[in-house]
Amino acid sequence: MTIKAGDTFPESHFTTPTETGPEPVDSASFFKGRKVALFSVPGAFTPTCSAKHLPSYVDNADALKAKGIDAVACTAVNDAFVMGAWSKANAADGKVTMLADGNGAFAKAVGLEMDGSKFGLGTRGQRFSMIVNDGVVEQLNVEGPGEYKVSSAEYMLGQL
């Protein structure tokens, strides 16, 4: 079953890259008491994700925060090392928290996994964005296959 607006964010475990190495992050602690703009990409260093999706949130992090967002986070079915390198390559450090979903457990828990086998990617998370307010999904924007419209930071700014 796919998550929807009004649902409680599922208990999930991510890994975030830090200067001292990967650190575990549990969703209950991360989302508690704050409003988070979360977006998911099929993969770090992939074309649309690197050219458009991540840059839209890096460029608009301050504007999102000015509209009440406390934190901006990105998730992908990649390990924390790849997510950390991607963050550095895109000047996202300090603007976007990387939440690695290395085994795809989160993507599966929210019913938004996709089969990228045709491209050698295996099971990944779909491209989407959501606003999570104190652990409850307020907005959910899921892209159609191959699209990049409703999950951008610009679209989210229009929803706030």
- Tokens 């963050």, residue located: 87
Pseudo-torsion of CA 45, 47, 48, 50, nearest 10°? 40
The token pair at 96 is 């976007």
Percent of residues in the chain assigned helix, strand, coil, to nearest 5: 30, 30, 40
Cβ atoms of 125 and 105 closer than 8 Å: no
Considering 25, 38, 41, 49, which one is annotated as catalytic? 49
How far, in Å, are 14, 37, 107, 120, 124 from residue 117 at the CA level? 23, 28, 16, 5, 9
74 is catalytic: no
CA of residue 13 relative to chain centroid, distance: 13
* Residues designated catalytic: 49
